[in-house]
Chains A and B, each alone.
Chain A
């Protein structure tokens, strides 16, 4: 059974740092791109970052670029998100998600097919 377990959230002061983790099991972690998506309280979904299988390609939303760092350890089946210089607007539930690849109608498509349960990050003084 595919499982993603998010952890590491908590209360942090503005300007502080936090490291989120996502433990993966039930699939060959090293063969999937992974990403982080966040959701502010009562708001919609916001993509944060994506990392390719071997960490060769990394992408960030402009809202977190230069402050957040995504990484992975394929030997430990783990995904990470280092959050630095945190702001009140970073308060959200952070989900890790697996980027599935699907074949249909002669083409390959993507979608986030498995998600962690989310970990809450609260930035407040």
Chain B
């Protein structure tokens, strides 16, 4: 099983600033990496697929990069609605696995 490790567990950033979230795979997942956002009480929302491509309707302030084992999600000009939980997920190998999540909180 590929273990996905997200860091940090909690990130404190001020509104308007930039947040950088990391996701590491225990072995290569090539570019088969997805990012989701989950707000309280809601289902997850697809943000990024293919490690770096924004899903339909996702604002340009969200960007992502990486391949292999190291991945980054960057959110610039943080808005109030961005302060929530983010998950990475790999589907390069079965079983599909998620990271444990990074909670982005207001500093």
Interface residues of A (CB under 8 A from B): 35, 37, 44-47, 50, 59-62, 95, 97, 100, 102, 104-105, 107, 109-113, 115-118
Most central of A35, A44, A110, A111 by chain B CB within 10 Å: A111
> Do B98 and A45 touch (CB < 8 A)?
yes
Minimum Cβ distance to chain A for residue B5 (Å): 12
> Do A113 and B87 touch (CB < 8 A)?
no
Which residues on the A side are within 8 Å of B91 (C-beta)? 110
A44 to B46, CA, bound (A): 15
A118 to B1, CA, bound (A): 26
State which size class the interface on B falls in.
20 to 34
Task: Output the nearest chain A residue to B99 by Cβ-Cβ distance.
Answer: A44
CB contacts between A and B, total, < 8 Å: 72
> Do A113 and B94 touch (CB < 8 A)?
no
> Do A115 and B44 touch (CB < 8 A)?
yes
Task: Output the nearest chain B residue to A102 by Cβ-Cβ distance.
Answer: B49
Which residues on the B side are within 8 Å of A61 (C-beta)? 95
Proximity string of chain B (35-78) to chain A, C-beta cutoff 8 Å, 1 when within and 0 when not? 01010000111101110010100000000000000000000000
Q: Is B96 an interface residue (CB 8 A)?
A: yes
Which residues on the A side are within 8 Å of B89 (C-beta)? 45, 47, 112
Nearest 7 A/B pairs, CB to CB? A115-B43, A109-B50, A111-B49, A47-B96, A104-B53, A111-B34, A45-B98
A104 to B99, CA, bound (A): 23
Minimum Cβ distance to chain B for residue A53 (Å): 16
Which residues on the B side are within 8 Å of A35 (C-beta)? 96
Besides A100-B49, A105-B53, A112-B34, 15 other CB < 8 A contacts? A45-B101, A46-B98, A47-B89, A50-B96, A60-B95, A61-B95, A100-B46, A102-B53, A104-B49, A107-B31, A109-B49, A110-B34, A115-B43, A115-B45, A118-B43
Which residues on the A side are within 8 Å of B53 (C-beta)? 102, 104-105, 109
Q: Is B84 an interface residue (CB 8 A)?
A: no
